Amino acid sequence: MSLLSVLTLDENELVACVACGLCLPHCPTYRVTGLEAASPRGRIAAMQAVQFGDAPLDATFERYMEECVQCRGCEAACPSSVPFGHLMEGARGVLHEQRRSERRWRRRLAEWLGYRLVLPRHRLLLALTWLLLVAQRLHLVPRRLGLPRLSVRSLARRLRVPAGDAPDAYLFTGCVMDAWQRDTHRAAIRVMAATGARPGLPRGGADCCGALHVHAGREEEARRLARRVIAALPGTAPVVVDSAGCAAAMKDYGRLLDTDEARTFATRVRDFSEWLARQPPPAVRADGGRVVVQDPCHLRHVQHADGAVREVLGRAYELAETDDDGLCCGAGGAYNALQPALATQIRDRKVEAIRRAAGDGRPRVASANPGCAMHLAAAGLDVRHPADLLAEALE
């Protein structure tokens, strides 16, 4: 361990925790483990211990930080509004810089492939997706990964929007979602058009929003991606995002880049439902049946757009609520791949809550984030994006 191995988090943010413990029940990892080390209060205490020199920045500390899903449910629950997400991203950033060399080579290779090679290059991601499709047909991709059935038709066809230069609203297409769930984008475009607005697509360069990079503490890479996204979406039209994790990250571009341009851009970003709730309602059939609403954490705790989802879905469906205060499902971007054991325990709680809310029969679940949808689908649930559900209900 070198002498440089210290945390340098904002001290005022760090001491703002009075250790009251009101965050505990809202933390998915605390809920399934009961461990202080897996709680927001414990993680802050660990950050304090390391930053103030009472404990080393070692593998134990790294494990505590990496067990966090970064759902930010604690932030919404904290009466003192401790900026936990910011502290955690800062801690991850320091870990990324100082602990990288001690990580196993397999992990370093996987990180390099994912964060550096594939995500920033959308064409490469699409090419790999074709390979994945072939593998899926050969039954080489286990179901438990939750990957939706990729379709040749969907992948071969480009997204189409009405011609013209200045759209009323952009649909941000992103990385994984465009590769694996492009039909949801199609549904979003149909619903957007049904409101009378003219949807548009980003120019080239908006390969990835960088949300996963921020969560992994790779802020420099995230900044590069964010600049490209901003350049690909010129003008003043709203930027509609149908992935809750991406929208939350893009709304934070002002802090990430610290420029006026980024701050202005961030004000244009809207979650799909948030945008739709402010448009003339499209005509829908109101007999869609019962749907259990699952709030992606970055929709509910970060964007506070959970009300909008209910408003737009409620026009066509009978909505059922879970009784778990919007506790995280355990997907957490890449979390379910990095911490499979915890992610599965957290999901088990969520699936139980969804079944309780659904009553009889196989529940249909609405989730506005691709990661949550895949994670829950892997547990055998029928999960749909609100855009899919609304497009289905269009008259």
Partner 1 sequence: MADLRAALGPDRARAEPLELALYQRDAGVDRGQAAAVCFPGTVDQLAAAVGIAAWHDRPFVARGSGTGLAGGATPVGDPLVIVTTGLNRIVEVDADERVAWVEPGVLNLDLSRAVHHLGLHYAPDPSSQQACTIGGNVATNAGGPHCLAAGVTAAHVLAVEVVLADGSVAMLGGLEPDAPGYDLRGCFVGSEGTMGVSGRIAVRLTPNPPAVRTLLLDFSTIEAAAATVSGIIAAGIVPAALEMMDAEITRAVEDFVGAGYPRDAAAVLLVELDGLPAGVEAQVEAVRRVGHEHGARTVRVAADDAERALLWKGRKSAFGAIARIAPDYYLHDAVVPRTKLVDVLRQVYAIAAEYDLTMMNVFHAGDGNLHPLIVFDQRTPGVWERVHAAGDAILRACVDAGGVLSGEHGIGLEKRDAMPLVFTPDDLDAQARLRDAFDPSGRANPEKILPSGSRCGELQRVPAGAWI
CA dist 123 and 151 (Å) reads 17
In angstroms, the CA 291 to CA 354 distance is 10
Site for partner 1 in 268-287 (CB under 8 A): none
Q: Select from 11-19, 122-130, 161-169, 228-236 the region that touches partner 1 (CB under 8 A).
A: 11-19
CB closer to partner 1, 54 vs 348: 54
Q: Which residues within the stretch 203-242 sit at the binding site for partner 1 (CB under 8 A)?
A: none
In this complex, which beta carbon is closest to partner 1, that of residue 23 or of residue 358? 23
For residue 187, count CB atoms less than 10 angstroms from its CB and return exposed for 0-12, middle for 13-18, buried for 19 or more.
buried
How far is residue 169 from each of residues 72, 190, 284, measured CA to CA in Å? 29, 13, 21
Least distance (Å) between residue 325 CB and partner 1? 8
Q: Which is nearer to partner 1, 18 or 135 (CB)?
A: 18
Contact 65, 44 (CB under 8 A): no
How buried is residue 41: exposed, middle or buried, by Cβ count under 10 Å (0-12/13-18/19+)?
A: buried
Q: Is 80 in the site for partner 1 (CB under 8 A)?
A: yes
Q: Nearer Cβ to partner 1, position 17 or 230?
A: 17
Q: Which residues pair with 199 in a beta bridge?
A: 169
The piece of 77-85, 180-188, 236-244, 287-295 that touches partner 1 (CB under 8 A) is 77-85
Distance of CA 172 to the CA centre of its chain: 14
Q: How many CB atoms lie within 10 A of CB 190?
A: 17
Please state the closest distance from residue 62 (CB atom) to partner 1, in A: 11
Residue 376 φ/ψ, nearest 5 degrees: -75, -35
Nearest distance in Å: CB 22, partner 1: 5
Indicate the residue among 39 and 243 with the shorter CB distance to partner 1: 39
What is the C-alpha to C-alpha distance for residues 60 and 316, in angstroms, rounded to an integer? Answer: 49
- For the segment 340-369, give every residue that binds partner 1 (CB under 8 A): none
CB of 153 to partner 1, least distance (A): 46
Per the CB < 8 A criterion, the answer to whether 218 and 112 are in contact is no
Partner residues linked to 318 by β-bridges: 290
Q: How far is the CB of 90 from partner 1 (least distance, A)?
A: 18
List the alpha helices (DSSP H) in 115-180: 122-137, 152-156, 176-180
The 316-345 site mask, x for binding partner 1 (CB under 8 A), equals: -------x----------------------
Build a one-symbol-per-residue string for 141-170: x at contacts with partner 1 by CB under 8 A, - elsewhere.
Answer: ------------------------------
How far is Cα of residue 18 from the mean position of the Cα atoms in its chain?
A: 29
| 306 versus 388: smaller Cβ distance to partner 1 | 306
| Binding residues with partner 1: total (CB under 8 A) | 33
Choice from 10, 58, 348, 352 touching partner 1 (CB under 8 A): 58
Element of type H or E holding 271: strand 269-271
Residue 258 to residue 252: CA distance in whole angstroms:
10
Q: Which stretch binds partner 1 (CB under 8 A): 57-65, 92-100, 311-319, 366-374?
A: 57-65
Residue 274 Cβ vs partner 1, minimum distance, rounded to whole Å: 19
Backbone dihedral angles phi then psi of residue 380, each to the nearest 5 degrees: 90, 15
* Cα distance between residue 113 and residue 127, in whole Å: 14
Binding to partner 1 in span 14-53, by CB under 8 A: 15-25, 34-37, 41-42, 45-46, 49-50
Lay out the site mask for partner 1 across 82-111 (x = CB under 8 A, - = otherwise): x-----------------------------
Euclidean distance between CA atoms 33 and 24, whole angstroms = 11
Residues that bind partner 1 (CB under 8 A): 15-25, 34-37, 41-42, 45-46, 49-50, 54-55, 58, 60-61, 64, 78-82, 323
